[in-house]
Amino acid sequence: MTSPLRLALIAHDEKKADMVSFAIAHADFLAACDLVATGTTGRRVMDECPQLKVKCLKSGPLGGDQQIGALIAEKKIDAVIFFVDPLTPMPHDVDVKALMRLAIVYDIPLALNHATAEMLARRLSQP
């Protein structure tokens, strides 16, 4: 038996509804993953998809992106789905960039929008 995919879920506020739709549409796939998320994203996903268990870290602006970055550096995350809001300035933009940089450094799949997340979920849910 293979170990579950360790997947991080993150969504900026304007994209949280999008993340919830994604989670509902892919609930079976996500239920088979070890899920970790920034605080508000994780709680929102669990509220709307109660069958999913998500380990919630700190909220993004309070260090959650950095915690996910650290997990990537420790090789404890296999893939990241991060629904980024490109139209709103973020006080923690440097943390967001650092997380993306580490995903690139460690060469893990990083989906930054819904279309790419769909492809990732379809690909990763294949046996």
What count of other Cβ atoms lies within 10 Å of the Cβ of residue 27? 14
Phi, psi angles (nearest 5°) of residue 34? -90, 110
Nearer to ligand 13P, 12 or 26 (CB): 12
The residue ranges that bind ligand 13P (CB under 6 A) are 10, 12, 38-41, 59-61, 64-65, 92, 96
111: closest CA among 80, 87, 67? 80
Is 125 annotated as belonging to a binding site? Answer: no
Nearer to ligand 13P, 7 or 41 (CB): 41
Smallest separation, CB 44 to ligand 13P (Å) = 8
Query: Choosing from 47, 65, 85, 95, which is the catalytic residue?
Result: 65
Q: Taking a C-beta distance cutoff of 8 angstroms, is the pair 107, 73 a contact?
A: no
What Cα–Cα distance (Å) separates residue 31 from each residue in 46, 51, 83, 113?
Answer: 11, 7, 19, 20
**Binding site for substrate: which residues?**
12, 16, 38-41, 59-60, 92
Residues with catalytic roles: 65
**Binding site: which residues?**
12, 16, 38-41, 59-60, 92
